[in-house]
Amino acid sequence: DTDPTSALIAKAAAAAVEAAAVDVDVTAAANAAALAVHEAADRASQDAAQAAAKKNEQRRKRYREKNVDDETKNHPGNTDLHNHAANVSPHEHSTDEPAHKKGAHTHEDQLASRRLKDRQRYANMTPEQRQVYNSKRREQYHRQSEISRQKRRERERNRYHSLTNDSAKDRNERRAKLERERYQRLAPDELEAKNRKRRERAAQARQKKEAEKVGDDATEGEASVSCAAA
């Protein structure tokens, strides 16, 4: 009895050892696969970072070349600047200040230069040219202001129509309350000026409505006369 039992125990121990060896092999394989994936991800991130750095460096180089070309156009005789920019390495350019600060500073300089040129161009105009220029600027300003007001009214109208009845009622009450409070806070002279402007706008609206009515009546009369003549 002892020999078969010992044999069974020995077989069970051998099976357990083999199973443990298999688990160890599977765990080692899984760890190796995870390590390989991690290393591949690290290499991919490093490659992406290097590609982005190279792309940024090329962009900065093009930006510097464009600035040099603009400066050369503005100052044709200054060829030392172009030679210096061509011989200086990118690292020497970036040691003074960060790239984003340099870009912002350069953009501000370009805007200042553009404004200076506009002032010089305006100063060299004749009085007739200035009058035409100012007239066009005023027309453009009023046109843009009117377009902005129309868009704002359209947005407000769409927003108002999208409200429910209760929300529209609350909105109207709130706006009326704010308008009353603003009206009550006005000084006497401001109140008088506001009321005068409102009366003027109301009179202009009445005149416009009457003119449109007269025009419609005249059109209808001409149409009836033409029909009668036919």
Q: Residue for token digits 């553009």?
A: 114
Q: How many CA atoms lie within 13 A of 27 on its CB side?
A: 6
CA distances from 134 to 6, 117, 173 (A): 113, 17, 44
Measured between alpha carbons, how far is 230 from 219 in angstroms, rounded to an integer? 16
Mean pLDDT to the nearest integer, 105-131: 88
Contact in structure between 78 and 72 (CB atoms under 8 Å): yes
pLDDT value of position 81: 45
199 pLDDT band (50/70/90 cuts)? very high
Instruction: Name every residue whose Cβ is closer than 8 Å to that of residue 78 and which is 6 or more positions away in sequence.
Output: 71, 72
Contact in structure between 64 and 85 (CB atoms under 8 Å): yes
Judged against a pLDDT cut of 60, whether residue 185 lies above it is answered with yes
Whole-number percent of the chain with pLDDT over 70: 62
Q: How many CA atoms lie within 13 A of 202 on its CB side?
A: 6
What 8-state DSSP symbol labels residue 98? Answer: -
pLDDT value of position 147: 87
What 8-state DSSP symbol labels residue 94? Answer: T
Q: Looking at beta carbons, which pairs linking 72-80 to residues 24 or more positions away fall under 8 Å?
A: 74/113
Contact in structure between 81 and 68 (CB atoms under 8 Å): yes
Measured between alpha carbons, how far is 70 from 74 in angstroms, rounded to an integer? 6
pTM: 0.29
Contact in structure between 194 and 186 (CB atoms under 8 Å): yes
pLDDT tens digits along 64-80? 777 666 666 655 544 44
Instruction: Name every residue whose Cβ is closer than 8 Å to that of residue 60 and which is 6 or more positions away in sequence.
Output: 90, 93, 94, 99
pLDDT value of position 24: 53
pLDDT tens digits along 132-173? 999 998 998 888 888 888 898 898 888 888 888 888 889 899
Mean pLDDT to the nearest integer, 44-53: 80
Instruction: Name every residue whose Cβ is closer than 8 Å to that of residue 158 and which is 6 or more positions away in sequence.
Output: none
Measured between alpha carbons, how far is 143 from 137 in angstroms, rounded to an integer? 10
Judged against a pLDDT cut of 60, whether residue 93 lies above it is answered with no
